[in-house]
Structures are given as C-alpha cells and as structure tokens.
Amino acid sequence: MPQRTLRRAKNHTPEFQKRALPGLTYIISMPKSSSRKPKSKSRLISSRAVYRGSAFWVSTDDVLEPTGVRVRRDIVHHTGSIVVLAIDETKSEPDILFEHQYRHAAKQFMWELPAGRIDKGEDEITAAKRELIEETGYSAARWKRILKFYASPGFVAETMSIFLARGLKAGLAQPEADEVIEVSFVPLKKAVEMVMKGKVQDAKTISGVLWLSHQGNLRKPRR
C-alpha cells in the first residue's frame, strides 16, 4: 500500500484527516527521536511449554522486546544443527558430497548436504564428524566452520553451523533405522547449476554450495 507523508499546515484540522483518499495511508506525525540508546535485550515476562517432542519443543512466550513492544511469541526450540560441506579435491574442480532423500515436510525427494542435530552433551564439531560417518560413511582429515546462521528466526530458535570437510576417506555408513539415503558426488559447477535452476531447494545446502562457489582462492592441501 503506498504511503504519503502529510505535513502539518496552518489550516490543518482533525476533519481534514478524515478526508484521506481510499487506498492511501497518511502518516500524520512521527515519534520524537530520543537521544537514549535503544535497549539491546528483550525481557521475558513468562514462558509456557505447549509441546515437547524428541527433536524439538514449543513454548508460548510473553515478551517485552527491545523496541518497546510487548507481544506473545510462539517459539520452536531446538538444540541446534550442523551441516557438512564435504568436498573431494582430487580433480581440478571440487566435487561436493550430496545426499538424496525423501522429506515428508516437503513431500518430495531433496538434494541436501549431510546434516543433523547436535545431541545433548555434544559440541558442534563432534556432532559434525558423527553425522558425516553415520549418514555417508565418510570421515575427514581437516575441518573448518565456515558459516553459522538461524534457520528461520521468525519463530524457530535453531542455529545451523556449516563445516567444510576436506581430506575425505570412505568407510561404512551407519544410518538410523528411518533413514534411506543415497550418496553421490556432484561437481561444483553442476551443483551451482542445480541451485540456480531450483533443483536444490534446501536452504542450508544452497548456502554451502554458493559459499564454495565464491572461494576462488581455496587452496588445495599439499601432497
């Protein structure tokens, strides 16, 4: 909806405000600026758990936000996840280790990077190494965290950390009972093409692939 700013004139009256044209929003006045710095933290007034599951839990929070707004927020809580950008550098162009599996929430098979939840008592790197072996059978000699972000900060408190894994070594996968995963290596150029054409629709995977595509100076390990 378009917005126009109405400046106060000498003949301005409350009746004039009522004659605003349909479809137009008039901003009559703006809050006075304050020299005080805005608060950087919110204040949780109350919180009530409304659902608890094996993977996440949901709370209804009454919160006073730094903007001064008091509001109810329904939040999905999660222990956090890791993502593994595992690459094979034996060729001139790196190959990315991809998984292809069915996702009920999306109602389709999806191309993804290996990923999983951080279990209780684990740190990020331990979880990343465990998930890579469990889902693909591969282990890696060199690890580096390259990205950390919120999956959907509007209502999900889950963070995701992407680790670059290099120096891969094949092994035996140990998937969970409900996991049916196909594993394959995809050249970087092809992976970027899959992202740009919408064949990859998983946000964490898109982030990892595009990050790698911008690392033109990624040095190969010395032999």
131, 179, 182, 193: which is the annotated catalytic residue? 179
- Is position 184 within any domain? yes
Q: Domain check: are 104 and 209 in the same one?
A: yes
Domain count within the chain: 2
What type of residue sits at position 119? D
Query: Helix %, strand %, coil % for the chain, to 5?
Result: 15, 40, 45
- pLDDT of 87: 98
Q: Which domain holds residue 62?
A: 43-77
Q: Indicate the SS3 state at residue 166.
A: strand
The secondary structure of residue 167, as a DSSP letter, is E
179 is catalytic: yes
- pLDDT of 55: 87
- pLDDT of 177: 85
Please report the beta strands in 6-158, taking only residues with DSSP state E, as ranges in sequence order.
25-27, 43-52, 57-64, 70-77, 81-88, 95-103, 108-112, 115-117, 139-150
Q: Domain check: are 53 and 144 in the same one?
A: no
- Is position 38 within any domain? no
- Is position 37 within any domain? no
Which of the listed residues 34, 60, 77 is the one where a domain comes to its end?
77
In tens digits, what is the pLDDT along the chain, a chain of 223 residues?
Answer: 444 444 444 444 444 444 444 554 444 444 454 556 666 799 999 999 999 998 899 999 999 999 999 999 999 999 999 999 999 999 999 999 999 999 999 999 999 999 999 998 999 999 999 999 999 999 999 999 999 999 899 999 999 999 999 999 999 998 888 889 999 999 999 999 999 999 999 999 999 999 999 997 666 555 4
- Is position 183 within any domain? yes
- Is position 128 within any domain? yes
Question: Domain containing 126 — which CATH number?
Answer: 3.90.79.10
Q: Domain check: are 99 and 194 in the same one?
A: yes
Q: Domain check: are 207 and 139 in the same one?
A: yes
